[in-house]
Amino acid sequence: MSEKKSRVISWIILGIFLLAFILLISNMALWESFLRWLFPEEREVLHPRGTLLELVGEHLWMVIVSSGLATVIGISIGVLVTRPLGRQYLPLVSNLSSLGQTFPPVAVLALAVPLLGFGFKPTVAALLLYGLLPILRNTITGIENIPSEVREAAYGMGMSSWQVLFKIELPLALKVIMSGVRISVVINIGTATVGATIGAGGLGSPITAGLVSENPAFILEGAIPAALLAFSADSLLGNIEKSFSSE
């Protein structure tokens, strides 16, 4: 089987899976029947805060905003510290980004709440810190690993520094950068569930409610879609990453 045909098949399989996922989270009657079959002793099996489609939408929005900011900031700083003028800050940036990921998500939320309030903003701030490191490191690694001969050849052709960056360095480093984005997004999908503890909503809401009320049906209602969402995002970004590597 050719590589091109294999990529097409992988996109078709992913499309079918995503369609099935949307239909699954849209059918609350199916979820209620499934969870009531698993936990017949529970009086309530569906979290009353909202439908799964609404919770997934809230969850996705937190991940999209935080991952988008992490991507822009991570790539920008990664490019800056690989330039001659910013290279002196490379150790400092690496240490600070690593330090940001050593804090537990709950601790970051606790520190952010007094400054940003409850809900969406502190959760996005925490996810931004957690998602920044893989993108930043992969950007630096991707650019630094480009052979010096390639840059010298580009400069020899009369390219400016900006042209070398956008036409040579970033395209060659794109696959490595995309790998960092992929890791960051998957991490954020899982970490975003913690945001429910400060009223951010999303799939963490039924999980938190289930832990508080000792209701396993609520926990599964949030955990299963969160796992499927992480798998979907990983597969989607993996397909995009492969498309770059084959170009």
pLDDT score for 246: 53
Residues of the chain with pLDDT under 50: none
pLDDT score for 62: 92
The conformation of residue 215, written as its DSSP 8-state character, comes to -
The alpha carbon of residue 128 and the mean position of all alpha carbons in its chain are separated, in whole angstroms, by: 10
- pLDDT tens, 115-125? 777 778 888 88
pLDDT score for 116: 76
pLDDT score for 199: 78
pLDDT score for 218: 92
pLDDT score for 100: 64
pLDDT score for 133: 86
Yes or no: domain 3-245 corresponds to CATH 3.40.50.2300:
no
**Vertex 30: Cα angle to 29 and 34 (nearest 5):** 120
What residue spans define the domains of the chain? 3-245
Selection from 14, 61, 44, 7 nearest residue 233 by Cα? 14
pLDDT score for 245: 61
